[in-house]
Structure 1
Amino acid sequence: MKNLFFTSFFLLSLMASGQTPDFSWLTGTWTGPGFGGTFEEVWSNPSEDGTMIGMFRHFGEDGTVSFYEFWVLDSTGMKLRHFNEDFTAWETKEEYVSFEKVEFAPGKVILKGLTYEQTAPDKMVISLKMTHEGVTRTEVFNMTRNQ
């Protein structure tokens, strides 16, 4: 009984301590196919509080950029904004797209509608739920970290 109490207390203490999630495995430049072209994600090193910033750019079949995204990932989830190739914003100045935290685990970031999962040291799979004209589907992207 004493061990059960200690274990429960220890686990509750860890949860209450607000430990900083470790997103460092995302750091670097990742590329992969998607949306009829290629895309690239670049993730910063985490700050002291674990926050990361990043950017995405999509290249069409002809190699030109078709759109960008810039984001912040922290302990609450991800906030991002989209931009056209001419850098005009999709969202208004006050708006952004939000993916709320569901769960963080080693090598895995699960957000509402978006999941990043490390499958090997330089491989990850991104799953993105998208709804268009009332139809929801999940797009899966296989990414490789560039050295």
Structure 2
Amino acid sequence: MNYLYSLLFLLSLSVSAQTEKDIEIVDSLAPKLENIKWISGNWKGEAFGGQTEENWSEPSGGSMMATFKLINDGEVSFYEIEIIREVENSLILQLKHFDTDLKGWETKNETVDFPLIKITPTQVIFEGMSFEKVNENEMNVYVDIKNDNGDIELVKFNYKK
């Protein structure tokens, strides 16, 4: 009888592990641009005490690209150019910052890189930045940003089309 209980116990663990594995497969999407195309569009929001604009292209040529602009008191504070591209069966988000006169913050060959962690039907999670689909016309972007003390702080951008 103990043998039967042990066998049933092991079988239940096997079924439980299989179920968790299946849930993960169903929840996670392949690292393909086609699975994140919902990010594309012209988005507007507020952050850093000003107005933000972020415009993402549809996937083409193995990448998506975006421009970002922050406006404070009627003047541009800074710009960004961002890309998400397919690299070695994964995705990477890369960006560069620019002053109002388009002088780069990073050196010529330097980018700020965010490797992909996971894609779900409503989230694209990169290391240090993630996108969350609220609905067809709203998304949240979360970015880890170093504050003046050197501590990492999570900043939320709420965008609407």
TM-score by length of 1: 0.81
Secondary structure of 1:76's counterpart equals strand
Q: C-alpha displacement at 1:136, in angstroms? A: 1.4
Aligned residues: 131
Matched residue, 2:69: 57
Secondary structure of 1:103's counterpart equals strand
Q: Distance in 2 between matches of 1:19 and 1:89?
A: 30
Q: Distance in 1 between matches of 2:109 and 2:100?
A: 20
Q: Distance in 2 between matches of 1:76 and 1:70?
A: 17
Percent identity over the alignment is 33
Q: After the TM superposition, which segments of 4 or more aligned residues of structure 1 sit over 4 Å from their partners? A: none
Give the alignment of 1:109-128 within 5 angstroms: 109-128=124-143
Matched residue, 2:150: 134
Q: Which has the higher helix share?
A: 2
Would the alpha carbon gap of residues 122 and 80 (structure 1) be closer, same or farther in structure 2, given more than 3 Å must change?
Answer: same
Q: Give, as a single letter, the amino acid of the residue that structure 2 aligns with 1:144.
A: K
Long gaps (5+) in structure 1: none
Aligned counterpart for 1:104 among listed residues 119, 130, 133: 119
TM-score by length of 2: 0.74
Give the number of the structure whose alpha-carbon radius of gyration is greater.
2
Secondary structure of 1:88's counterpart equals coil
Q: Distance in 1 between matches of 2:115 and 2:159?
A: 22
